[in-house]
Amino acid sequence: MINIPKGTKDVLPDQSYKWQFIEDCARSTAAAFGMKEVRTPVFEHTELFLRGVGDTTDIVNKEMYTFLDKGGRSITLKPEGTAGVARMFVEKGLSSAALPLKAYYITPCYRYERPQAGRLREFHQFGIEMFGASAPSADAEVIFAASSFLQKLGIKDTRLEINSIGCKTCRAEYNAALRKYFSGYSEKMCPVCRERLEKNPLRILDCKEEECRKIISGAPSILDYLCDDCAAHFSSVRSLLDKQGVQYTVNSGIVRGLDYYTRTVFEFVSTAIGAQGTVCGGGRYDGLISELGGSSVPAIGFAAGIERLMLLMENTGVEFPQPPVPAIYVAGMDDDSRAEAFSIVNGLRQKGLCAETDLMNRSVKAQMKYADKTGAKFVAVIGGEELADRAVNIKKMSDGTSQSVAFEDIYNYLKQNI
């Protein structure tokens, strides 16, 4: 037997309705905010992620699925959704479309990580990206969209944490302060952080090592280093959220996993799913489009991990709407009756109902057992008598009552009684 690769998951037929529910909520949320779906390839040139995610990030340093294709090109499976969408925006000249451009995607992502609860090698993201808007209202709208999505799913168990990581100007000063602070502890920090200290000290704040976390807790706060413009922007975002009644806490430790974030960053976090508690993360990335060769276009977005959302919903007892069941199972007692049942169910299917009949030449008893397993709401058994009468008793499974219905009236009967 060949097993599934480590860190990947199958979606079994009796579980897919949960995926469909989450995806439906994603699509309807996006639609309410005027966002249009985009699809980009699962693989891109490796260069895109080196630039689009940033070469001091965990993703680029250790998690990418990179290989040479048969033409000798370096290809990488997308580790996240933003870089591909940003590439599309630049390459297809979308800055000349009506701005802001609001896009969303549901996509698989690939990261070579150590698999554990909520951490997979193939996982899925629902993400949105908004290009062209620099006003604080854009930040508030994106956060509000994420919050509406979680609400639609029935998730109550998250808290929203927001922060501002400033722009190039204020960050230069902050990075210098971080360098000064952390260089006093460099002996005690993990080797990765020692390297970060050289290249990008802000990234140290994202370290998950316990020893580093202790040192981080005493680090200077970015909020004390924001320039006037960034501070004003952050304060407007906050008051817009306040006006909408969106609850949040300011956490100056949030920096997020991409290098091109500027100003607002945020996470929706839960304590109900263990260590991997971030179900949705996002922020402003005003530097990315120009980094990828486009003009200077502000952008902001978020990505939510679908597997983590599902885990959270399951762990906190959120009810998924029940998957649809067949309206009717029509059994046949002999070959002629089976043929009639077959044409009845096909007629019902063409009118949009889910109807089932026997495909395995089973006995009526076995057919009833199967009908029961499918959860069919009504069942009918056709034999010689029914064929002669062109009518059949339709039994309602929920209360056991039955009613004789002419073959040609079955659709109407079901429509009225489902």
Dihedral of CA 90/91/97/101: which sign? Answer: negative
Q: Which residue lies nearer to ligand ATP by CB, 267 or 356? A: 267
Q: Which residue lies nearer to ligand ATP by CB, 87 or 338? A: 87
User: Closest residue (Cβ) to ligand ATP?
Assistant: 305
CB of 108 to ligand ATP, least distance (A): 11
Q: Which residue lies nearer to ligand ATP by CB, 141 or 307? A: 307
CB of 166 to ligand ATP, least distance (A): 19
Q: Which residue lies nearer to ligand ATP by CB, 119 or 194? A: 119
Number of H helices, E strands in the chain: 15, 16
Distance between CA atoms of 47 and 198, rounded to whole angstroms?
Answer: 23
CB of 111 to ligand ATP, least distance (A): 5
Contact between residue 139 and residue 300 where contact means Cβ atoms under 8 Å apart: yes
Q: Which of 45, 262, 109, 97 is nearest to 89 (CA)?
A: 97
CB contact set of 376 (below 8 Å; sequence gap of 6+)? 325, 326, 327, 328, 329, 356, 397
Contact between residue 332 and residue 358 where contact means Cβ atoms under 8 Å apart: yes
Indicate the DSSP class of residue 35: -
Distance between CA atoms of 228 and 234, rounded to whole angstroms?
Answer: 10
CB of 106 to ligand ATP, least distance (A): 12
CB of 276 to ligand ATP, least distance (A): 5
CB of 308 to ligand ATP, least distance (A): 4
What are the CA-CA distances from residue 221 to residues 95, 225, 250, 293, 404 (Å)?
35, 7, 11, 32, 76
Q: Which residue lies nearer to ligand ATP by CB, 147 or 278? A: 278
Q: Which residue lies nearer to ligand ATP by CB, 7 or 154? A: 7
CB of 194 to ligand ATP, least distance (A): 20
Q: Which residue lies nearer to ligand ATP by CB, 117 or 366? A: 117
For ligand ATP, the binding residues (CB under 6 A) are: 80, 111, 113, 118-120, 123, 125, 257, 276, 278-281, 303, 305, 307-308
Three-state SS for 234?
helix
